Each structure stands twice: as structure tokens, then as C-alpha cells.
Structure 1
Amino acid sequence: MLEVAAKELKRRLANKEELYIIDVRECWEYDEVNIGATNIPLGELPQHLSQLPSRKDMEIIVHCQSGRRSGQAQKYLAKQGYSNVTSLKGGLDAYLRLK
């Protein structure tokens, strides 16, 4: 499983890199706190594949709260032909612990 460290993601966001990030947490979790990612809850991912980049080799970063759901999303997207899906290591918990 490909993972990106929270510190690396934070650096890339600060550098205003164009990133496609999917937050696979539930809508209520996203409403409480988010980093500006596209919110597609894990259970709804199959119905929202048309929202994803058409280039299946484009980098997609998925995250959840701790990393479990994003790992599942990463595996699912790989089965759908997306070849460059990365999961945020430690999830939003790790990202929010950064100063």
C-alpha cells in the first residue's frame, strides 16, 4: 500500500500543489473538520466514480480519520484501474497532530 506521510502532504498543500484528495469519512465527520478534500464517504465511493479524474494514472490521495477506511478505498480504486492512489499514513489524526 502506497502511503504519504502527514508532514509531506502538509508541505505539498502549503506549496499549493494541485492535488486530488478524497476524504472518505462520513459527511458529519467532514463537517466537523476537514482539509479541503473532496468528501466521498467510503460506502458511497462506487456511486461517485464519475467524479474522479478521468486519467486513471493521475495521483489521488485518500484519507480518513486513522487510515483504515482510506486503505479500503485505496484497494477499491486500484481494482477499478486507478494506478496512482496513495493513502495518508495515520489519517487526519496524524495530520492534525502536526504543528
Structure 2
Amino acid sequence: MTDDIIDVQAVRGLVETDPDTVLVDVRTPAEYESSHIAGAVNLPLQAVDRHLERIVSGVRGRMVLVCQSGNRARQCQDRLAAAGLRGAVVMSGGMNAWEAQGAPVVRGRQRWALERQVRLVAGSVVLVSVLASLLWPPAVAAAGIIGAGLTFAAVTDTCAMGMALARLPYNQPRNAVDVGASLDRLAVDR
């Protein structure tokens, strides 16, 4: 592992031995509500840009960034580093790795992970458009559009479909995340 990426065992060790370690979960509030690491602060990636100055100037202790697989956490790490905060590390494999190793989680209302929802919607549109093209050949264009969108998402490490799905009522938490309270928790001297 590099210095800016650490594995689940290292994170567990930090949480147990270093009271200044703060886990920042950058997933959507609904994903966080489904399952999260006890004590983790939910600060959705979408909120990071709006609060970069406060995060960079107020963080105390070691910051470990967590998402579902590690991709959004790396995006957050890049944004924080560009703003001047260089000490944040990413938990390799995210919550997928955490849960695969049997580490404890706090569970709430269960939902499919956003990445799984994107695969379902994209795959369904492609399948339906290909089948529809047997009757009406221009319908295959929808499959091409989805393919282009997925390619763009991979190249830019963003996902418009995921951002759209995150806004659906199904993906909204029962209680909205209080970004201000999350930011306050980051700045508390431990």
C-alpha cells in the first residue's frame, strides 16, 4: 500500500489505537444509512467542494476517507489535496472490503448500492433497446448512448446516471445528513 491508501486492517488498528483518527464516509446519505462504520462522519462527496475551505482549515487528527469501493474516496482525496490538505488517506476497497473482512457495521434501512443501481439501469436500457431494435432498428441507438455515457463515466471518473439515481426518493435517507454537524465533528479536538 502507498502512504495515501491503507487497507482495512490498518484502518481498524488506527480506530482502536489512535483517538485522533476520524473516518469520513463520502457516500450518499442513503448509502451511509444502509450501512456504515460506527463513529464515521457522513460528508457526501457532493458537499465537499462547497465546504473545502472549512474542511481544510478545521480538520484535526488523521482523516480516513471511505466510500463503497474506494473511487469516490480517491476523488475526495484529490480535491482535498488540491485545496492544501495532504494527510487524508483512502481505505482501499471501501465498505465492500470492510464488510468482506467481517468488520463491524451499523446497519439501517437496506438499499442497493448506487453502483449496483447504475449497472441495473444501464444494463436494462441496453437490453431493452437491443431487443426493441429487432422490431425497430433505430432503437439500438439507445444502447449506443448508454455505452458512450459509460465510457465517458470511466474516463472522467464521474457518473451522471449515478448522480441522477441518487436524487430519487428511494435513495433519500429517512433523516437528511446535517453537513454542518458533520463538519463540526471533523474539527473537534479529540
**TM-score under structure 2 normalisation?**
0.47
How has the CA–CA distance of structure 1 residues 50 and 21 changed in structure 2, closer, same or farther, with 3 Å as cutoff?
A: farther
Question: Which of residues 53, 69, 73 in structure 2 aligns to 1:70?
Answer: 73
CA distance in 1, matches of 2:63, 2:77: 9
Q: Does residue 63 of structure 2 align to residue 47 of structure 1? A: no
8 Å CA contact retained: 2:56, 2:83? no
8 Å CA contact retained: 1:56, 1:84? no
Question: Which of residues 92, 104, 107 in structure 2 aligns to 1:89?
Answer: 92
Which consecutive aligned stretches of 4+ in structure 1 deviate over 6 angstroms post-superposition? none
CA distance in 2, matches of 1:22, 1:56: 11
**TM-score under structure 1 normalisation?**
0.85
**Cα-Cα RMSD:** 2.2
Number of equivalent positions: 99
Question: Which of residues 9, 16, 35 in structure 2 aligns to 1:33?
Answer: 35
Q: Counting helix residues as a fraction of each chain, which structure ranks higher?
A: 2
> How far does the alpha carbon of each residue in 1:43-67 deviate from its partner, in whole angstroms, 9 at most, with x for none?
1111233553636795321110000
Taking every aligned residue pair, what percent have the same amino acid on both sides?
27
Q: Counting strand residues as a fraction of each chain, which structure ranks higher?
A: 1
Unaligned runs of 5+ in 2: 103-190
The equivalent residue for 1:7 is 9
Question: With CA pairs under 8 Å and 6+ residues apart, which has the higher RCO, 1 or 2?
Answer: 1
